[in-house]
Homo-oligomer: A and B are copies of this chain.
Amino acid sequence: MKKDTTYYGVKEIARRANVSIATVDRVIHNRTGVSEKTKRKINDIIKELDYQPNILASRLASRKIITLAVLIPRVSEETDFWEAPLRGIKRAESEIKKYGIEVLHYFFDLNDKNSFEEQARKLLKEDVQGVLLSPSFIEESKEFVQACHTKKIPLAFIDSDLPGQDNLCYIGPHLFHSGYVSAKLLTYRLKENHKVLVVNISKEIDYNYQQIEKGFRSYFTDHNQPCEIVRIDIADTDNLSVTNALTRVLHEHKDLEAIFVTNSRVFAVASFLKKSKRTDISLIGFDFLKENINYLNEGLIDFLICHKPEEQGYRGLMALYQKLVLGAPVEKVHFMPIDIITRENQAFYQN
């Protein structure tokens, strides 16, 4: 590296303070063994010189390994959505491993708040320097975020945000706009009645869902497009519950033109429509799951909205790396593109 640039390191600080490099090092990492007087003197020089540590050298010399943790949903039989973020996380891991980064994995069950709390508790017992979190459960996540905050552990959120909560960054979809775009796409398929059904299939009413529906409804109000919106919550995610609920609502509202599913479980609705031969109803939902793609290709699903989940995992972990290792600034919010997948372009999609 060039020397002519006016850059001062520990050596210069030591020289000016008439102490050794080791003493300067002790002050910088505020370890014990330095008198108040020299500590003050060194700190003054550090401030005067606006000393910026060389992170390259620092990481190289450090024998300490940095431990990161990820706390995300387990890949379940119900939905393989979380395969993609995990893939991205592992890709990031293999890239940064050689710089002394170790990553611990904690998985919770999306149908079980307790499992989240349990895994969070386990995680907090370890000495981790950063956490990648999918804050699926609002209240529980808030508590966890609070705990991390007191331990000064930076947090990166993926997939869904937790507004108002202190974090390093959020990497994921703009939920409101995703709902908005969904509504837009849906209008392409509307004909006469302008009557649509919003379906939320989830054990927990989460933040994601609320924002998405808000955006969805906003589109119609924004565009002054009158549209009757029927909505149901299906709290049990098994096939029978979905079938029963949909049978009931379709019986009540015979003139439904389209269905919007607020998460990746759109395949469950597609399966129902196929069985009940209601292929006249348009269907739109989220995420590039194998099952969803199948129904997309069969023509039962019209559109899928995707947010590059693998990249979310990759970027989330890399954000922590950037912050902790390189000391580089991290952008607070990074919205993923709102990708629109149809039968025609799905083959080329990079999930």
Contact = CB atoms under 8 A, between A and B. Distances in A.
Interface in A46-83: 52, 54, 56-57, 59-60, 62-65
A349 interface: no
Nearest to A59: B56
B335 A97 contact: no
Nearest to A1: B100
A152 interface: no
Contacts of A54: 60, 98-99
Interface in A89-112: 95, 97-100, 102
A97 B5 contact: yes
A98 B63 contact: no
Interface string A327-351: 0110100010100000000000000
Given A60-B54, A60-B60, A65 B2 contact: yes
Contacts of A337: 335
Interface in A283-336: 311, 318, 326, 328-329, 331, 335
Given A60-B60, A337-B335, A52 B98 contact: yes
Nearest to A57: B60
B1 A60 contact: yes
A130 B239 CA distance: 55
Copies assembled: 2
A65 B95 CA distance: 25
A2 B56 contact: no
A329 B2 CA distance: 25
Nearest to A53: B98
A3 to B, nearest CB: 8
A132 to B, nearest CB: 17
A99 B328 CA distance: 13
B60 A56 contact: yes
Nearest to A62: B1
Contacts of A5: 97-98
B328 A95 contact: yes
A327 to B, nearest CB: 9
Contacts of A326: 326
A74 to B, nearest CB: 26
Interface string A170-195: 00000000000000000000000000
Interface in A1-51: 1-2, 5, 7
Contacts of A62: 1
A106 to B, nearest CB: 21
Contacts of A99: 1, 54, 56
Interface of A: 1-2, 5, 7, 52, 54, 56-57, 59-60, 62-65, 95, 97-100, 102, 311, 318, 326, 328-329, 331, 335, 337
For the complex of A and B, list the 7 residue pairs with the smallest distance between their C-beta atoms, beginning with the closest: A1-B100, A2-B65, A56-B56, A56-B60, A7-B98, A57-B60, A56-B59
16 contacts: A1-B65, A1-B99, A2-B65, A2-B100, A5-B98, A7-B97, A52-B98, A54-B98, A56-B56, A56-B59, A56-B60, A57-B60, A95-B328, A95-B329, A318-B328, A335-B337
Given A1-B64, A311-B331, 11 more contacts: A1-B60, A1-B62, A2-B65, A7-B97, A7-B98, A54-B98, A56-B59, A56-B60, A56-B99, A57-B60, A95-B329
